[in-house]
A = this chain, B = another copy of it.
Amino acid sequence: MAWKAGAAGGMVAGVREGAMKVTILGGGGFLGRKLAARLAADGALGGKPVEELTLFDLSPPAAPEGAGFPVRCVGGDVSDASAMSEAVPEKTSVVFHLAAVVSAAAEADFDLGMRVNLDGTRALVERCRALPAAPRVVFTSSVASFSGGQEAVLADDARQVPANSYGAQKAMGEMLLADATRKGFLDAVCIRLPTVIVRPGRPNKAASSFVSAILREPLLGLETTYPVGEEFGVWVCSPRVAVEWFVHAATMETAALGLDRGVNPPGRRVTVAEMLAALPGNARGLVRPQPDPAIEAIVSGWPAAFTAERARRLGFSETPGLDVILRGFVEDDLEATRAERAA
């Protein structure tokens, strides 16, 4: 493990009143890095200054630019109790638990998925239980924990019947965190994230890869294909709104949640046709259909719409339209993605 001071000059002189220690498990991932950058930019969470940030991932993640507080960068296995103790120091107020083996990997390697996605969450529960005060835990669950298909519009009390190990492990993690909340070990909010677009990086073997690729690749000037019909719908959110949700979940009043700690946030249903239409004209010509019945069979089981009424009542913000999502990608990630792909 490694320690790094905040990059900015503003090292804190001591613990300020109401200051808080924050941990991001999975701090090296796509969303973890964006959340760390947001905390560095704000210097605070819910009006309270951040006293110290711990970023935890398999390898010690890079500290965000410009943090006015110390940043501890820790590497380790999330299912290992001693690594978890390093990741969540004494007096931690908020843990963002974003560490996961994602869907395709958890499906290919059942043991790895169980270890990281279930045992990792269990190790976090045990660590929180050993702390003198129960921290808020913001857990990223997933729409992959549901099934239902294209025609379904899932209500807030919809049953999770996952069709993949990743979704099953996330749903078990939610169940464990809800019970740990009831027992007073921690105070959990579980956010069932929609498909996040536009994901930077390369196309991969995930069945959902095309959803980001259909927007990202043509903006990079590259050709791409989509394996489903143009009317195919997906429940999406943007990286920016996901980070908003994380911050809201970390700072909201949780009494109104009662026993049910899972939230379906207000994503947005978009179709392939709408995504194509949102691309600038020159980019749109780089995308063509290439039907793939195997991929269609998988993704057609995913629910494409949720009512998300409870989350709206609880103050979770709306996912903007595709034009705003695309602009966000261009502003935040396009250049870095281009540079990475060229390297």
Residue contact A161 to B110, C-beta cutoff 8 Å: no
When A147-B259, A172-B172, A172-B176 are in contact, do A182 and B163 touch as well, CB less than 8 Å? yes
Residue contact A178 to B168, C-beta cutoff 8 Å: yes
Q: Which of A174-200 contact B (CB under 8 A)?
A: 175-176, 178-179, 182-183
Which chain B residue lies CB-closest to A119? B122
Q: Does A86 have its Cβ within 8 Å of any Cβ on chain B?
A: no
Interface residues on A, range: 20 to 34
* Distance (whole angstroms) from the CB of A96 to the closest CB of chain B: 23
- Chain B residues within 8 Å of A176, by CB: 168, 172
Q: Does A157 have its Cβ within 8 Å of any Cβ on chain B?
A: yes
- Chain B residues within 8 Å of A178, by CB: 161-162, 168
- Chain B residues within 8 Å of A260, by CB: 159, 161
Q: Does A171 have its Cβ within 8 Å of any Cβ on chain B?
A: yes
* Distance (whole angstroms) from the CB of A110 to the closest CB of chain B: 6
- Chain B residues within 8 Å of A114, by CB: 122
Quick one: which of B163, B172, B182 contacts A175, CB cutoff 8 A? Answer: B172
Which chain B residue lies CB-closest to A170? B175
Which chain B residue lies CB-closest to A182? B163
When A168-B175, A168-B178 are in contact, do A159 and B162 touch as well, CB less than 8 Å? no
When A172-B176, A179-B168 are in contact, do A159 and B161 touch as well, CB less than 8 Å? no
Q: Does A92 have its Cβ within 8 Å of any Cβ on chain B?
A: no
- Chain B residues within 8 Å of A163, by CB: 182, 259
Q: Does A165 have its Cβ within 8 Å of any Cβ on chain B?
A: yes
- Chain B residues within 8 Å of A158, by CB: 157, 159
Known A110-B183, A159-B160, A172-B176; further 9 A-B contacts with Cβ < 8 A: A157-B159, A159-B159, A159-B260, A160-B175, A161-B260, A162-B175, A168-B176, A168-B178, A171-B175
**Can you name 26 A-B residue pairings with CB atoms under 8 Å?**
A110-B183, A114-B122, A157-B158, A157-B159, A158-B159, A159-B160, A159-B260, A160-B175, A161-B178, A161-B259, A161-B260, A162-B175, A162-B178, A162-B179, A162-B259, A163-B259, A165-B179, A165-B182, A168-B175, A168-B176, A168-B178, A168-B179, A169-B179, A172-B175, A172-B176, A175-B175
Which 4 pairs from chain A and chain B are nearest by CB? A168-B179, A172-B172, A157-B159, A159-B159
A residues near B (Cβ < 8 Å) are: 110, 114, 122, 147, 157-163, 165, 168-169, 171-172, 175-176, 178-179, 182-183, 259-260
